[in-house]
Every structure is written in C-alpha cells, then in structure tokens.
Amino acid sequence: AQSVTQLDSQVPVFEEAPVELRCNYSSSVSVYLFWYVQYPNQGLQLLLKYLSGSTLVKGINGFEAEFNKSQTSFHLRKPSVHISDTAEYFCAVRDSGRGGYNKLIFGAGTRLAVHP
C-alpha cells in the first residue's frame, strides 16, 4: 500500500523568509502527488499537483514543489512567506483500487506558523 510521510509536524518561520515543507512517498508505480492547504476551521484547498511532465510544479499563492523520483520526495517551497500562509499543509498521493476507484492517501500534516 502507498504511504506518505511528512517529515516535520511543525515549521516555525519568520515573515518574508523562505520555507520548505518536506514530503516523502512510497510507491513503485506511476505516482500522482498533491499538496493541499487547510486554514483554521476550513476544508482543504488544492495548492498544486504533479501528474506527469515537468518535475517542477508551480501552484497558487507563490508555492512550488519539485518531484524527485530517485528520492521519492515531493517537497513544497515558497521563497518568501506571509503571515497569511499560516495553516496546515497536507501532502497526498493518489491510490487506485480494484473497481476503478481513486482515493487520496494523506500525510499527517505540517503546521506552518509564520511569525512577524
């Protein structure tokens, strides 16, 4: 079964500093990867996705992620964070099952706390 590991449960950072949120996945087949953000008391918003093609994926709000097959990683980066980026970030991999269903397998999440 596929799995996702988010290596940091919490990442504190100062405003305007760069940030990297780490994600590793386990899969031996074609992989589809996602980053979602969850603001307090809200649902999940799609930040970006990797389905195929260029390994550098750009998303919303200035975020980008790099797919690294040899290291089975999909780290999320932003060159300069804002207070408004404070949220929980989830890395997910799509898993397909018999009958044609597709489910997302999520990591435990990384809490990004941006301080002034």
Partner 1 sequence: DAGVTQSPTHLIKTRGQHVTLRCSPISGHKSVSWYQQVLGQGPQFIFQYYEKEERGRGNFPDRFSARQFPNYSSELNVNALLLGDSALYLCASSRLAEETQYFGPGTRLLVL
How many chain residues are in contact with partner 1, going by CB under 8 A?
Answer: 24
Residue of 28, 29, 40, 101 interacting with partner 1 (CB under 8 A): 101
Nearer to partner 1, 85 or 107 (CB): 107
Tell me the C-alpha to C-alpha distance, in Å, between residue 51 and each of 5, 31, 83, 87, 113. Answer: 19, 7, 30, 24, 29
Which helix H or strand E contains 75, and what residues bound it? Answer: strand 73-78
Residue 106 within binding range of partner 1, rule CB under 8 A: yes
Residue of 11, 13, 22, 49 interacting with partner 1 (CB under 8 A): 49
Tell me the C-alpha to C-alpha distance, in Å, between residue 12 and each of 44, 46, 49. Answer: 21, 22, 24
Shortest Å, Cβ 109 to partner 1? 5
